[in-house]
Amino acid sequence: RNFTADQFSGVAQDEIEDARPWCEILRQWATFHPEFAFLPRKFKIAICGSKRDRAAVAFHDIGLEIIKDAQGETAFKVFVGGGLGRTPVIGALIHDCLPKEHVMSYLDAILRVYNQLGRRDNKYKARIKILVKAMGAEAFKQKVEEEWAHIKDGPMTLTQEAIDHAFTFFQPPAYEAIDAAAAQSALDDQRLTDPRFAAWLSHNVVAHKQPGYAIVNVSLKETGFAPGDITAEQMEAVAELSEQYGFGELRSTHEQNLVLPDIRKTDLFAVWQKLDALRLATPVIGTLNDMICCPGGDYCALANAKSIPVAEAIQRRFDDLDYLYDLGEIELNISGCMNACGHHHIGHIGILGVDKKGQEFYQVSLGGSQSNDAAIGKILGPSFAQDEVPEVISKLLETYVANRTEEERFLDTYRRIGIEPFKERVYA
């Protein structure tokens, strides 16, 4: 698997350091690496360079969080053994401040320990999360430290020259010098001209670290279409927008949307109009209807149940934008089987398709999180038939609204009151 990072890397306002050069350094290290060639299963590595974790580092085989040490130098928190699927596990923190020059050798030591001690007799057990869980995080860390001691200051030690070279591949584009105050003032005036544009600005546009610019989320969540789907014609049109209004760059997100990372604030109204005409401006980013959904039984031979019809039924049930906005931030994730391609374990609300004697049913979980406060959801109770799911979601939301305080998100309320009030309402 390739290395992944925050979709806003290099442009995020809360960025500590751009994660992309580090992805490239480690990609070069991993390519044709004998230890990688010997791995029994897929192996996923994510790097987060921002204050808010948008790369889900705690749920990867190895997750790296960029931090600054006491001297202000780049360093890494290292998480190992995270993952979803049949055995959902939150990664263990085994190093809280790894110096940047040792990142390759330390990851090499992790791979060596895994290849030496990991299971290969059962493909379902041939993941590093199984080894870390079986050994315990401290014992695994000790083995890694012992292995690392032999290679720590060897050829894999990064020089500043090598690091600087990687950063040359990710230089900022040729931003214009924009009067940020004037651009914002004009944008505020435009916001008043159309409430639909104002809603899109509030939910689909993210602050950029370059004055006068913004990050645009291209929403692939229009009701009636599979979440994350985009036609060839729409994709070509978005590519043209990236060239006309940006620097020809287009990014994908694991929330199943697209990102135009460098849009001038003065161009946001024009970009919105064109995205709206393409039906790619649904202003639901971060809401219940910005759901993650796997292809499910409609397309996947592994699935136990369909996912897309469930997603559409929920979208149609909660199509009132004012209600969605009042609910605030809610992450809803849907998977059609235990392989968890829809990340249902880490949704604030998770839905899992299960098979019951040849019938499709859906298990609901609550309290998951993919961010800095990583958590795996807890199963609500017995599963539901497909046509019951929208009503179940409605009852969960009613419980949240009845119990929340003014500042609380769904996840905050759940953590404060626990699962029982939700369970009582749903199964009453």
Range of the domain at 327: 292-427
**Quick check: 2 pLDDT over 90?**
no
Domain boundary among 143, 170, 197: 170
Question: What one-character DSSP code corresponds to residue 225?
Answer: S
Mean pLDDT of 112-122: 95
Domain boundary among 248, 277, 306: 277
The CATH number given to whatever domain includes residue 399 is 3.30.413.10
The pLDDT of residue 38: 87
Pair (355, 321) in one structural domain: yes
**Quick check: 1 pLDDT over 80?**
no
**Domain assignment present for 52:** yes
Count of structural domains, the chain = 3
Residue 110 one-letter amino acid: I
The CATH number given to whatever domain includes residue 264 is 3.90.480.20
Cα separation of 330 and 397, whole Å?
A: 10
Helix (H, G, I), strand (E, B) or coil at 381: coil
Residue 337 — very low, low, confident or very high, per pLDDT cuts 50/70/90? very high
Pair (40, 154) in one structural domain: yes
Pair (185, 164) in one structural domain: no
C-alpha closest to that of 219 among 209, 230, 208: 230
**Quick check: 158 pLDDT over 80?**
yes
CB-CB contact of 132 with 118 (8 Å): no
Pair (109, 205) in one structural domain: no
Cα separation of 380 and 394, whole Å?
A: 14
Pair (127, 201) in one structural domain: no
- Provide the whole-model pTM: 0.94
Domain boundary among 277, 307, 341: 277
Average model confidence (pLDDT) for the chain? 96
Pair (16, 82) in one structural domain: yes
**Domain assignment present for 287:** no
Residue 357 — very low, low, confident or very high, per pLDDT cuts 50/70/90? confident
**Domain assignment present for 286:** no
